[in-house]
Amino acid sequence: MPQLFHPRANTIARVVVVCVLVSPFVALGVHAAFMYSPYFTDQGNTPIQPVPFSHKHHVLEDGIDCRFCHTGVETSMRAGVPPTHTCMECHSQLYTHQKMLEPVRASFAGDTPLRWQQVNRLPDYVYFDHAVHVKDGVGCTTCHGEVEEMPLMRQAKPLTMHWCIDCHRAPGPNLRPPDEIFATHWRPHNNKEESRLLMDHYGVKTTHLTDCSTCHR
């Protein structure tokens, strides 16, 4: 009597069953890897700007404080982008004929704003207030990375919901003393006692920090 099934039929059947069972988990893993990849989050993205502004030069080498340009960071939801006349306070006297600064001079002369490209972008359904974070001890580099080392500004952090919630669940290591809020050299710490003291100082409570309405209003 001829053999109905190939000798390897059982092995093939088992492989097919395993593939069917495993494939959903593989698909979920691939999806998760993509969602958290820089390709999706834009981490490392360096937009082309109208002027190649160097934070490394202005912050690290010239010692200019963040608030000189981002005047709203302590008082409003948005940190703000400096108007052209802020640039010209210095560049009407320094590097006045540099070719790269021609867009700045044209903007100032024509009273038209420079069109800067936003680097750190959150979805429209996310509520984020710079002033609240600064008031509660979160400094610039916590979210924006080591800006003093950036010749061109890039998105240093993933800015995902998971990344934000991790900090909201345990904000202590990212809180800094009031005189260190705008310090570019400050780095997160693992001192539990210091975290507790800083959370008490700022009155930070984690009870509702992970509520949906905290960031989605």
Residue 39 or 110, more confident: 110
Mean pLDDT of 188-195: 89
Question: The tokens 């539990």 sit on which residue?
Answer: 192
- Where does the chain have alpha helices with state H? 9-35, 38-41, 55, 66-69, 84-91, 102-110, 130-135, 140-144, 161-169, 192-202, 212-215
pLDDT tens, position by position, 198-207: 999 999 999 9
Q: What are the pLDDT digits (tens) for 137-185?
A: 999 999 999 999 999 999 999 999 999 999 999 999 999 999 999 998 8
Please report, for the chain, the start and end positions of each structural domain, with discontinuous segments joined by +. 55-215
Per-residue pLDDT tens digits for 3-23? 565 667 677 778 788 888 877
Q: What is the pLDDT of residues 43-53, one digit of tens each?
A: 999 999 999 99
CB 88 within 8 A of CB 104: yes
Q: What is the C-alpha separation between 115 and 62, in angstroms, rounded?
A: 24
Q: Per residue in 52-111, pLDDT tens?
A: 999 999 999 999 999 999 999 999 999 999 999 999 999 999 999 999 999 999 999 999
pTM, whole model, 2 decimals?
Answer: 0.82
